[in-house]
Chains A and B, each alone.
With several copies, the nearest count.
Chain A
Amino acid sequence: MPDPTPREPSDDEGRVELSAPATPEMMQMVHAVLEQLWSNHEDVAMADRIRFETAVIEILGNIVEHAYRLEPGESERRFDVSLSATEAALVASFGDDGMPVSIDLSDVTMPDEDAESGRGLALAMAAVDELSYDRASGRNHWRLTCVRQPG
């Protein structure tokens, strides 16, 4: 019988990490990487793929759009993301060097029906089972977890 206790960090095996400029073009890159990931993990249910990809793209979109540099320097803004699919879960963890984000995730709510923006974080939170943000070593860290549906 499979062990029901959460697995250890060695679960990170198989992960794919990407580091790239924080530009809109890189959203297609992440879509392409996810597409390959799914083709290597055909057992991941379509519903899980969809909610994971939705949240990943929302968080990345926010980094691209909002995570400005503290000091606008010479060098480009970049992000990195680690993507992994284990039997138990799909996990994405983002890092970026933008300014600290002053949002309390527990305050995030879905805007009204007629709002034309402001749904990104609420959608990401609704899509996955866990979304966390923290600031460490001068970087923003976002972590998303989708607990997988039983096959």
Chain B
Amino acid sequence: MIEFAVDTTPEGVGVVTPKGRLNMSSARGLKDILDGLVAEGTSRIVVDLGETTFLDSSGLGALIAGLKSARQAGGDLRVARPTEAVTTVFKLTNLDRVLRPRDSVEGAFDA
């Protein structure tokens, strides 16, 4: 159903790539990964949504939870390369400002 790739860049940015559908069944998995990264000191995180074929309100909840804990730890969570399904859901929920999609994972913390 879903797989998560988790990586850290040389700059210490955590990169999480959900591959598949981010929904009720998989949202908890994402939340746990994001919490884990923040807990171990990686509070700058990019979620690469380039392979996220579907996103529902539970998946959104996990992203918002991750965003909040990253910011509380002095970092930030940014989203990159959203698919059309993801962009649509961001827009419909008015989250496209707080989760402003970046064009690339590498440049996600540039601005």
Query: A interface vs B, CB < 8 Å?
Result: 24-25, 27-28, 31, 46-47, 50-51, 53-54, 57-58, 61, 64-65, 110, 113-117, 119-120, 122-123, 126-127
Contacts and interface: CB of A to CB of B under 8 A. Distances in A.
A54 B85 contact: yes
15 contacts: A27-B24, A28-B1, A28-B21, A28-B25, A47-B84, A47-B88, A53-B54, A54-B88, A54-B89, A110-B94, A113-B94, A113-B97, A116-B62, A116-B65, A119-B93
Interface residues of B, number: 25
A65 to B, nearest CB: 7
Contacts of B62: 116
Contacts, number: 76
Nearest to B68: A114
B24 A65 contact: yes
Interface of B: 1, 21, 23-25, 54, 56-58, 60-62, 64-65, 68, 84-85, 88-89, 92-95, 97-98
B88 A117 contact: no
Contact of A24 (B25, B60, B84, B94): B25
Contacts of A61: 23-24, 56-58
A15 B84 CA distance: 26
A47 B57 CA distance: 18
Contacts of B68: 114, 116
Contacts of A122: 93
Given A27-B23, A46-B84, A117 B57 contact: yes
Given A115-B64, A119-B61, A54 B95 contact: no
Nearest 4 pairs of A and B residues by beta carbon: A119-B57, A126-B92, A120-B57, A116-B61
Nearest to A115: B64
B92 A123 contact: yes
Name the residue in B57, B61, B92 with the highest tally of chain A Cβ atoms < 10 Å from its Cβ: B57
Contacts of B65: 116
A126 B93 contact: yes
Contacts of A113: 64, 94-95, 97-98
Contact of A64 (B24, B93, B98): B24
